[in-house]
Amino acid sequence: MTHYVSKPVNEHGLVAWSTEENKVWHDLVARQLDLVQGRACKEYLRGLELLDLPLDRAPQLPEINQVLLRETGWQVEPVPALINFDRFFDLLANRRFPVATFLRTREEFDYLQEPDFFHEIFGHCAMLTNPDFAEFTRTYGRLGCLANSKQRVYLARLYWFTVEFGLVEQQGETKIYGGGILSSPGETLYALDDERPLRQAFNIDTVLRTPYRIDIMQPTYFVLDDIRQLYELGQQDLSRCVARAMAAGLLPPLFEPKDMTHA
């Protein structure tokens, strides 16, 4: 459940952002731009250049769509604050990335569990300008459309540890491509600079079996050799990988149950 409600989109695809919302957007982007330089992967930084996001106001969906359509054939789709899995997978399968048209309040400026407009646009859309990442995301959506509810639980881990919280090796350094990290100032620093999390080479069988929680800093990150690895992953028989992971069962979690923590 969420207490946020997406703002309406008019017939031209425009959102009437308020003065305060434009200020929140400015402050979020200004803070995060400094952090992602030198930490984000080259594909993300190139995508940011292509998007040329405004600082003084929240961008409009047609502005984002113009760039995505030209680069990879993708579009962003305005959605309510929360959508069901059927619609989520269907949108991705058809090169439509769901974007909730609400911005966090000042009270939740540093963190909120719901994916807001800043998270979706600043965190994810830059990577959707990259053909390998975009095609992997589309393949993921198509796979999800065909999966049953139990298979989707395992597929969720693949999305979590790639699209949301993925790392990649580039020129001997670990960089970030996951939108959940790149839209979070705390996790941007934690994912690369902190000694506590485990950073391990990406392995599809391990990823599908690794539990996660959405309300804590991640205890584990998986590191790709190259962004191209995502495209190659999408060419595998991922349904067979899911079946193998389901037969093997989950790995032990590296975190306490939610009711035992104060996160």
Residue list for the binding site for Fe cation:
119, 124, 164
Binding residues: 119, 124, 164
Set 6, 43, 77, 183: catalytic member: 183
Establish whether 164 is a catalytic residue: yes
Establish whether 124 is a catalytic residue: yes
Establish whether 26 is a catalytic residue: no
Set 119, 120, 135, 184: catalytic member: 119
Establish whether 3 is a catalytic residue: no
SS3 of the chain: the string is CCCCCCCCECCCCCECCCHHHHHHHHHHHHHHHHHHCCCECHHHHHHHHHHCCCCCCCCCHHHHHHHHHHHCCCEEEEECCCCCHHHHHHHHHCCEEEEECCCCCHHHCCCCCCCCHHHHHHHHHCHHHCHHHHHHHHHHHHHHHHCCHHHHHHHHHHHHHHHHCCEEEECCEEEECCHHHHCCHHHHHHHHHCCCCEEEECCHHHHHHCCCCCCCCCCEEEEECCCHHHHHHHCCCHHHHHHHHHHHCCCCCCCCCHHHCCC
Set 21, 77, 124, 135: catalytic member: 124
Residues with catalytic function = 119, 124, 164, 183
